[in-house]
Amino acid sequence: MNIFRLTGDLSHLAAIIILLLKIWKTRSCAGISGKSQILFALVFTSRYLDLLTSFISLYNTTMKVIYIGCAYATVYLIYTKFKATYDGNHDTFRVEFLVVPVGGLAFLVNHDFSPLEILWTFSIYLESVAILPQLFMISKTGEAETITTHYLFFLGLYRALYLINWIWRFYFEGFFDMIAIVAGVVQTILYCDFFYLYVTKGEGRSQLSIPTLFISQLTNV
């Protein structure tokens, strides 16, 4: 494992922990898109079914279990424990416009036409766009708490570091995965505008005007 993958994993873990602590400490899930969290739970579930069939390493297994557990814990906090604080009126992204096309693409473009491989491919494609409901929610409210922006920043940093990881593996290991790289590029692009706003807005509640013309069209169909 190279340093870029390790720091990417740690950035991903930091994002998840930041979000969970935010919800738990404030006893509120205000500003958090439950739909994005459901999509992430679906991503981890479909990607890590190999936990039942293979063992790679203790680190690999531990991280997979943590990701799955934290994803469902977040969904539980949003839709059950702190449901009264969930802002469903602003969390209106039409997720079917993500899940259905991604599912179809996973059947058409994959490395091997087998159940586990199709599900893994589905998870890669879905993860690249799973943050859209959260970004759309921020664009509708016009602001995000600092802790929420930290969560998004570390989530975007995780993907950017993984892109470097793929480049590293190509040059030093001869490994190349077009599906993962293209999906990673798409996901990183979605965060680019947010990265700029994160750096320039500073502390406090950030007024985020993320461009969402395309997203708005999807949700208003």
What digits encode the pLDDT tens for the residues 28-72? 998 899 999 999 999 999 999 999 899 999 999 999 999 999 999
On whether residue 87 sits in a domain, the answer given is yes
On whether residue 75 sits in a domain, the answer given is yes
On whether residue 116 sits in a domain, the answer given is yes
Which residues have CB under 8 Å from 79's CB, separation 6+? 34, 86
Q: Is 43 helix (H, G, I), strand (E, B) or coil?
A: helix
pTM exceeds cut of 0.85: yes
Signed CA dihedral, 71, 74, 75, 76: sign only: positive
On whether residue 153 sits in a domain, the answer given is yes
Identity of the amino acid at 164: I
Range of the domain at 189: 3-212
On whether residue 185 sits in a domain, the answer given is yes
On whether residue 198 sits in a domain, the answer given is yes
CA gap 99, 16 in Å, rounded: 22
The structural domain count of the chain equals: 1
On whether residue 221 sits in a domain, the answer given is no
Q: Are 114 and 173 in contact (CB under 8 A)?
A: no
Q: Is the predicted pLDDT of residue 188 greater than 50, yes or no?
A: yes
On whether residue 71 sits in a domain, the answer given is yes
Comparison of pLDDT for 200 and 149, the residue scoring more: 149
